[in-house]
Every structure is written in structure tokens, then in C-alpha cells.
Structure 1
Amino acid sequence: MKRRDFLYLTLFGLALFMLGNWLMPVTDPVESNYTQTAKEMMAAGDYMSPRIFGNYWYDKPILFYLELIAAFKMFGMTDFAARFFPALFAIAGILVTYAFATRLYSRKVGIFSAVLLATTVEYWYLGHAIITDMTLWLTVSLTLIFFYRGYETDKPVYYYLSFAAAAVAVLTKGPIGLALPGLVILLFLTWQRALRLLLSVHMLGGLALFLAIVSVWYLPMYMMHGSDFIDTFLGVHNILRATVPEHVRNSVWYYYLLVFVIGFFPWSFIVVPAFFKKLFTHELHLPAGNKERFLMVWALAVFGAFECMASKYTTYTFPYMMPLAILMGAYFAAHEKMFWRMAKGMSALYLAAVLVAVPFVTQDHSGKDLAALLKANSTENTAVMTYGVRYPVSVSYYSGLIPSRLVATDADIEKARPQKMSWTATNIMPFAAVTDMDFTKDTIIITDKGHSKELGEEVPGFWTEIGSDAQYCVYKLIPYHADGRIDKAERKNTTLYGIIMQRLLGEKKEAMNP
């Protein structure tokens, strides 16, 4: 390994993952949950219990929120800060891949593996996304790398490092941080007929170290929040996610095959045909070497584990990308000219996308502009609500306002409120019922073009549009006077006025043409 390789790969990573991050606003529906939680933790001065909308939030463990808080303290509450640690860990992942592949094969394979990984669609996306997956990927990868180094060299220190990395993974995303690498290790040792290694004193000592690290957060959380923490964190976000599909449309057997082909673009479009060619010509065989066995078990175990889970998400199989990138890097080492043409082309494409297209795409999925509109048209006494649309958490993050989710009646609120072992557990935003609305109060509703037609009907009152963006329309209520009147001059250009006039004209036309 050469120091200049690390330098060049670091510069390559900085250009690919840091450049332009300040141009990408926080998006809905996932990124904004993390940033809003970190923001509220900072405001409360509580760095132990995640919280959102004033409620404790047991969706994910603490580590990623602490990353966001650290970035906000270093760079301010900016879009660049929100994307800093995913990008930083993406760069670290390139270097780790280079180092591991170089030790397994050669410097050339190490460079090819690192560059190939960095230029895949999924890795590039997750290197910018404000979600836990890049942190989980790096810590799970280090868990398995350290284990293999311990197995290969018989040096106990690597086993302790492996369990320490697994503990950080569990503090990032929960039990999967240990269960997933544990499955890989179990299957590999079974193949190697070396299961007795699991009972070695160093493995048991590593497990003790793991428990000591994770107890720093999990034990205080249980002591402070008791069964609520266990039921929601372990029950809903782990057991329920594994047994009941959250998005039924994704529960098809070929889902992760499509994720692989698209996620590894453009390299999958070369490797997949080459794989089937070798398959049909009977050139494929089970690996005899330890390193190939380990990489194969790593990739297939991750794929198989998540294929068996009820809930399927695009990023779940992400931990298989390092072993596959290394195997692909070894393949492309024999096709050097083609590799560098593709790598340069994808790098140029990503850089152009960051500066030209991606900012507009993220803007269309963010409430940043909408938040500015709300702040300009509201006071501390204004009631802000959402109606008929996915709750835009990014609006809260950027504006400091907390909209209420408007439903028809109090009974509908009870149906939507969080229930144990139910996907409604994520509905912890404030609610409001149409039947309880105060039409003398300054009120703003966030909706979309489809549901705006219901303002004045399903949601009574005179509503006038004050702005819109690619996703939402924003309407303001013209309040009634205390005696129930509303000024005639204020009725025009409102939704209810238009509805009334349309109906009157329709009735007049029908009377003239019986």
C-alpha cells in the first residue's frame, strides 16, 4: 500500500461526496426525521433520548443523531453540516475497501475495488443521504474485516476490535449491527469447520467488551423509559419490521435482484452478463481459498437474510457492497482500459449531477422554500396544519413551526395515534380535528392540488391560496368575525366563494335547460 494511494483516493472521495453538499436541502420523508430529531435534542440539551415534536422517539439508536449534532455544532445548522458525516464515512469506506482488498489480493485490485465501489449508484447516493446506512455499512464492514484478520493472523486484538465495531453498529441501527455480521461469521466458520473458535476466550472477552459498550446507551434508556422504549424500539422497529411488511408493494422475490442491478450500475451491466456466460460454460466453481469463501459468504448471507425479512427497503442489502466490490475489482483488473473509461465517465456524471440536477431534485422533495413562505405569513398565534398530504417534517426543521395533522373527527385521531406493535407508532406528530377548528383564528393549511378542492367543503371556511411549490399548496383562512360574519370583499378569490358560485351557475343553467 502506498501513502499516495490514500491521498489520491481521499481527494477523489472529497470531490465525489463533499462537493456541492451545501446545494442540497434536507428532503422528506426520511432525512428530515433525523435532522429534526437532532435539532430538538440540541434545543432540549438532552443527548441521550432522541425526541421529535416534543415526544420521545425510539426509531433508531443514538449514534447517528450524535453525528448530526456534532456536525451542527461544527458548521452550524446548514445543509452541508447535515450531509457531512455520511460523506465523511463514505470517504473512509473507500479507504477501508482499498486497504482490505490490497491485503487480500494486490494494490491494483485495491484501487479498482475502491474506485468501483465509489462510483456505484447506491454508494454514491448513500454517501450523500442523511440516513444511518453509511455509518452502519462502515461499522458492519469493519466488524467483518477485523474478524477475518483475527482468523487469518490468530492475533486476539482483532477479535476485540471486531466486537467494538459491532457495538458501534448496534448503537447506529440496533440489533442488526451484531446479528448480520454474526450470521456471516457463523456461516463462514461452519464452512471452514472451525466453529470451536466461537468458544475461545478472546471471542468471549470480545463479547463482554461489546456488552460494555452498548450498555452505555441502552441501559440508561431502559432505566429512563422502561417498557415504552422496549415495545417501540425492539417491538415495532425491529420485530414488526422483520415480520410484517411496511410497504407491501416491495414484498416480491425479485426486489433485491433489481436493487443489485440498479445499485451497482454501471458495473453490474458488465459483471452480470459475464457471470451468466461463465455459468453456461461451466466455468464457475465453489471457491477453495479462504478469502474467496469469506467474501462469498459475506455477500450471500446479507442478501439471504434480508430476502427473508417481511419489510424490504432499497438500502437494506447495502452491507454486501464491499465484498462484491472487491470481487468485481479482481475481475476488472484484467480489463483495465474498460474499467478506467467507465470510472472516469461515471465520476464526471456524478460531479455534473451534483452541480446541475441534484439540487433541483432535492428542492422538489424538500419543504425549505415552503418553510420560508410559512414564516413570512404566520405569527406565533397562527395555527398551521397539513391536510391530505404526507406530513412534511422538513417544514418543521426549516421553519421552527410544528404543523398539526388535520383529520375529520376526534375518532379519526384516535385511529391514527401510535399503537403498540403497529405501523401507527410512527405517527407522533400533533393532530387536529376539523370538528374542533376555530374559524375565528388565523389558520394556514398545507395541502396539495388534489385535496385543495376539499377546502370549503370537507374543511369549512373561506380559504385563499398564498403560495405553492412542486409538492404543496398553501392556503390561509379568512377568519370569521366574533359574530360569525365575514367581509364580502374578503370572500372573492377564495375556495369556498368559487365553490358557491360554481354551484349557483350550475343550478341556473340547469333551470334554463330542463
Structure 2
Amino acid sequence: MRGEAGVKKKDIVGLLIFGLVLYMLGNWALPMTDPVESNYVETAKEMMQAGDYLSPRIFGNYWYDKPILFYLQLIAAFQLFGMTDFAARFFPAVFAVIGLIMTYAFATKLYSRRVGLMSAVLLGTSLEYWYLGHAVITDMTLWVTVSATLMSFYAGYESGKARYYYLAFAAAGVAVLDKGPIGLALPGLVILLFLSWQRCLAILLDIHMLGGFALFLGVVSLWYLPMYLLHGSDFLDTFLGVHNVLRATVSEHPRNNVWYYYLLVFLAGFLPWSLVAVPAFFKRLFKRELHLPMGERERFLVIWALAVFIVFECMASKYMTYTFPYMMPLAILMGKYFLAHETMSWRLAKGMGILYLIAMFTILPVVTQDKSGREVARILQQQSQADTAILAYGIRYPVSIAYYSDLRPKRLVPTTADIEKERPHKMSWTATNIMPFAAIEDMDLQRDTILVTDREHIEDLGTKVPGFWQEVGSSSNYVIYRLQPTVPYDGHAEQPGRETGTWRGILEQYLSGNRKMPQAS
């Protein structure tokens, strides 16, 4: 791989500073959000508490949603910085910076230093990359490891040096430890398609490919083998069956399963650059200036991007971050175009950097607070006693409350039969329902009880959920109520036709009077 100018140390230092400022500054002000980030941090916290650094667990149950790598990153950050919001967001930011430097180095080797810098800055100021540089999820680590796999393979393909193939297989092994089989399947498909186009499939028979695959198996067996030996079919059925096979064949969120979903993701994810690149693409298309790439470099980048897009377009479950791995090749291809408009591009990049920093200290703290239970957790800690029952009603289970408070609200459902329907079942999306449950029909109306709900379900208190409820706190997204114990009838006062302390009595009282106690002053 030859460029007009090689990688420069000052460029790497500049990108390092740029990335640390853009992705790490202000992270301490962003609480963990539901429904995704909180699952990861709560799992890491419970692993630390259990002293078990092999088997992910949440709410006291083994949790086979994702492999071990990201949890180990969180645990390492917690041990370094304490269990803080900054610590939770530390490694996503670090990997985002690593990704920028990798993009710069790869684009520089493919084309030139100027293309490398433009590609890295374009990528770093794209909306999706900026978001995932802060998000406590596995995708930034996957992006770096899959990109490292494909970059290393191409370096081996072009130079003929076997060490790059070994590096590619090792990186694929790390990707599988982060996200699962897709860490090998995705780059493997890109490589297979590229070699087919180049008519070089014989490379796959090279002895170093066999050695590289053995290295890959060695890396992944560090976790997958002991997990299977410890947990057997439960691990395979849930991890491979539900979180891989089911996710690919049955849509978890059917509303996203539309053909144009990932086109919208591309437009939004590459903002602001897509606003220029898309019109330019169609302009060339109408002028018939587009043609199949002839050079090896362009073929590899195009296949990389298209393969990622098509694979996830064909999957039943669609998520915004699934196509994220195509951002490396697209950033490099787009970097070549924007280099022809260099002055405008650098001004736009500077403007986006300033906007992101402003948003980091103004908009983002408000948005994350609205999606977090951190404030509610503080109120629950103040209001609850050791024997207080804590319930969550009418809302998606707020794991962040459990994370911040060390309390475990029970998800309230109508009957014990409903609990059985909601509990985890094999090859079903209920496999993710491992939170604690409670049935309305089993509520003890004499017990000190606190209930967390949202404003849409307040009117259910006293009707669908029996009892006298008094508001004791609220946040931007939740309202907290305490059950006021009823006093059974002692025979000294007339209470005609009213059974206090029973389901029937409670409903009668609410139908004839106030449905909620007055708000506490």
C-alpha cells in the first residue's frame, strides 16, 4: 500500500487530542439510560459483586445476551475510576479515538496523508460515530475489531506477508468475544466476495489461513469453551438460539422492518456529510459517470460497505447501529471526494465539532436524564426501608433504577398467570425478561409499598392497581407513589357496604370517592 506521504506522528497526536476532546469531555454529566446502556452497567456491577468475571449475570440470573469482552471493559473502567458515569463511558470513547487513528492510517496507506486526515475527520464528526463514541454499548468495540480484521487482511493480501493474516484472525476472535459470530461472519463474507471478484480464492488454501483460523479458535475458546462447560445447553440455546438465530429470523421490533430503514440510518448517521454526498452521487448517476471500481483498493472498500448493508438489510431485526461497520470504507471513499472541496470541508468539520461540544454540555445531559432512572433511584433510596416493596408499573423495566439504587423494583403484571407468560422461554423474545416480577392479585395492601410509573398510567392507580396512593416524588419521566395502608373495620364505626383492606372494598372506596391521596407537601 503506497501513499503520497506516509503516516505522520503529528497527525496521530492531533487526532488523539481531537478525539479525546470530542468523545470524553463531559461524559461525567451523562447518566446511564434505559433500555440498553443500563443493562450493560448493571451486569458488570453484579459480576463484580459476585466476584465472577466469566459468566455475565443480571438480577441474580445468568445473562447470555452478549459475550464477555464489553463487560470486562466496564469492569476494568469501574476498577480504575470507580462506579461512575465517566468510567462507564470511558472505553467507548477510547475505542472511538482508536478508530479515528485506524481510519487515518489505512486511508493514508491506500491513498495519501491528506485523504487519511480528511477521512478520519469526516468520520469523527459524523453524527452516528459521535453518538457511539459516547454510548455504553458494544458497537464501537465491534467496529474497531471488525475494521482491524479487514484492514489486516488487505495488508496481507497486498504485501503477501503472513503476519497480517494472523493479525486479521486474532482481531476477528476479539470481535467474536465482543458481539458473537457476526464478528467472524461479516468480515469473512467481505473477504470471500473480494477474493471472488479478484479471482484469487486460492489464497484461502494458504497454510497461513489454516494457522490463522487455529489462532482464531484459540482466542474465542478463552471464553466460549468454559461457558459451555459451565452452562451447557442453556448457554447455547439462549446465546446462539435467541440472540443470534432468532434475531436474524424474527423481528424484535417489527416497526423497523421496512426496506428503507437503513437508508434513513445512512442519511442521519453521516450527517452533515450525507447532505452533500448524496446529491453529488445522484448527479453523477444521472450523468452516467458512475462505473464499477477497477482498482483493488476501490473494489475492497465498495464490497466492504455493500456487504455490510446488504447483510443487515436481509436480517429480520433491524437496529440503527447494525450497519455501523460500513462507516470506515464509506468515510475513506467520501474523504477522497471531499478533498476536492477541502476548504469547505474543513470549515464544516470545525463547525460540527463546536456544535457537538455545545450539545455535550446543554442538550445531551437533558436527553440522557430523561431516559435515565438516576434521579428516581435517589428518591427511592431516601424513601424505602429494608422491608419496603418496590414496584414498577406500566413502564418498560427501568434497569437504571436498579443500577443506581442497588434496589430491584418488581415489574407489576395483573396475575401470576401473566408472570408465567412473561418469563423467559426458549427461542422467544421473552428470553430477555429476566427482571423480577410481581402480580397485582398478590399485592399485600398492608405492606409498605412504593410504586414507580409514568404520567400516562397514573389513572390506573386505584382502579387497575388497588390501594390509596400518595405521590412522594417525581422526575422528568417517572412519578413515584407510596401505598397508604388501609385500616380494617373494627366494628366501632359504621361502614355500610364497604370492605376496607380487601380488593372489593378498595375498589368500592375508589369508585365512590377520590382515587388518589393528595400530593405530599
SS at structure 1 position matched to 2:460: coil
Pair 1:204 & 2:210 matched: yes
Please point out which of 428, 447, 454 is paired with 2:453.
447
Amino acid at match of 2:372: S
Instruction: Give me the whole-angstrom Cα distance separating, in 1, the residues matched to 2:339 and 2:464.
Output: 64
- C-alpha deviations, 1:419-473, integer Å up to 9, x for none? 1100000000011111111111110111112212111111111111111112111
Q: How does 1:252-331 map to 2 (within 5 A)?
A: 252-331=258-337
Q: State the 1:258 CA deviation.
A: 0.5
Q: State the 1:127 CA deviation.
A: 0.2
Q: State the 1:484 CA deviation.
A: 8.2
- C-alpha deviations, 1:14-37, integer Å up to 9, x for none? 110000000100000000000000
Pair 1:501 & 2:513 matched: yes
TM-score (ref. length: structure 1): 0.95
Instruction: Give me the whole-angstrom Cα distance separating, in 1, the residues matched to 2:512 and 2:347.
Output: 64
SS at structure 1 position matched to 2:513: helix
Pair 1:384 & 2:396 matched: no
SS at structure 2 position matched to 1:335: helix
- C-alpha deviations, 1:287-345, integer Å up to 9, x for none? 11110000000000000000000000000000000000000111111110110111011
Stretch of structure 1 that moved more, 166-175 or 460-469: 460-469
Instruction: Give me the whole-angstrom Cα distance separating, in 2, the residues matched to 1:430 and 1:482.
Output: 30
Identity level (%): 68
Amino acid at match of 1:414: E
Amino acid at match of 2:15: L
1:456/1:496 contact within 8 Å kept? no
Q: State the 1:481 CA deviation.
A: 4.6
Pair 1:175 & 2:187 matched: no
1:27/1:362 contact within 8 Å kept? yes
SS at structure 2 position matched to 1:476: strand
Instruction: Give me the whole-angstrom Cα distance separating, in 2, the residues matched to 1:148 and 1:496.
Output: 74
SS at structure 2 position matched to 1:412: helix
2:463/2:510 contact within 8 Å kept? no
1:455/1:496 contact within 8 Å kept? no
Instruction: Give me the whole-angstrom Cα distance separating, in 2, the residues matched to 1:483 and 1:35.
Output: 48
2:106/2:151 contact within 8 Å kept? yes
- 1:103 aligned partner: 109
- 1:83 aligned partner: 89
SS at structure 2 position matched to 1:453: helix
Please point out which of 223, 234, 241 is paired with 1:228.
234
Q: State the 1:480 CA deviation.
A: 3.2
Q: How does 1:348-387 map to 2 (within 5 A)?
A: 348-387=354-393
Amino acid at match of 1:469: S
SS at structure 2 position matched to 1:385: strand
Instruction: Give me the whole-angstrom Cα distance separating, in 1, the residues matched to 2:403 and 2:377.
Output: 8
Instruction: Give me the whole-angstrom Cα distance separating, in 2, the residues matched to 1:140 and 1:484.
Output: 71
Q: How does 1:117-136 map to 2 (within 5 A)?
A: 117-136=123-142
Runs of 4+ in 1 over 4 A off after TM superposition: 481-485, 494-499
Instruction: Give me the whole-angstrom Cα distance separating, in 2, the residues matched to 1:46 and 1:63.
Output: 14
- 2:199 aligned partner: 193
Instruction: Give me the whole-angstrom Cα distance separating, in 2, the residues matched to 1:43 and 1:499.
Output: 47
Pair 1:346 & 2:358 matched: no
1:113/1:328 contact within 8 Å kept? yes
1:463/1:495 contact within 8 Å kept? no
Instruction: Give me the whole-angstrom Cα distance separating, in 1, the residues matched to 2:479 and 2:287.
Output: 59
SS at structure 1 position matched to 2:452: strand
- 1:155 aligned partner: 161
- 2:486 aligned partner: 480
Please point out which of 89, 99, 109 is paired with 1:93.
99
Q: Given the superposition, is the C-alpha separation of residues 497 and 356 from structure 1 closer, same or farther in structure 2, using an over 3 Å criterion?
A: farther
Amino acid at match of 1:406: L
Instruction: Give me the whole-angstrom Cα distance separating, in 2, the residues matched to 1:415 and 1:440.
Output: 28
- C-alpha deviations, 1:81-104, integer Å up to 9, x for none? 000000000000000000000000
Q: State the 1:496 CA deviation.
A: 9.2
- 1:511 aligned partner: none
- 2:407 aligned partner: 401
- 1:144 aligned partner: 150
Instruction: Give me the whole-angstrom Cα distance separating, in 2, the residues matched to 1:276 and 1:404.
Output: 53
Amino acid at match of 2:362: V
Stretch of structure 1 that moved more, 472-481 or 24-33: 472-481
Q: State the 1:357 CA deviation.
A: 1.1
1:94/1:118 contact within 8 Å kept? yes
Pair 1:37 & 2:43 matched: yes
Amino acid at match of 1:435: E
Q: State the 1:409 CA deviation.
A: 0.6
- C-alpha deviations, 1:385-427, integer Å up to 9, x for none? 1111100000000000001111111101011111110000000
SS at structure 1 position matched to 2:91: helix
- C-alpha deviations, 1:475-505, integer Å up to 9, x for none? 10112357789x99xx9xx9997753259xx
- 1:410 aligned partner: 416
- 1:458 aligned partner: 464
- 2:64 aligned partner: 58
1:98/1:111 contact within 8 Å kept? yes
Instruction: Give me the whole-angstrom Cα distance separating, in 2, the residues matched to 1:400 and 1:444.
Output: 15
Amino acid at match of 1:102: T
SS at structure 1 position matched to 2:340: coil
- 1:512 aligned partner: none
Unpaired segments ≥5 residues, structure 1: 504-514
Amino acid at match of 1:282: R
TM-score (ref. length: structure 2): 0.94
Amino acid at match of 2:134: H
2:466/2:507 contact within 8 Å kept? no
Amino acid at match of 2:209: M
Instruction: Give me the whole-angstrom Cα distance separating, in 2, the residues matched to 1:54 and 1:467.
Output: 28
2:463/2:507 contact within 8 Å kept? no
- C-alpha deviations, 1:152-200, integer Å up to 9, x for none? 0000000000000000000000000000000000000000000111111
1:461/1:496 contact within 8 Å kept? no
SS at structure 2 position matched to 1:445: strand
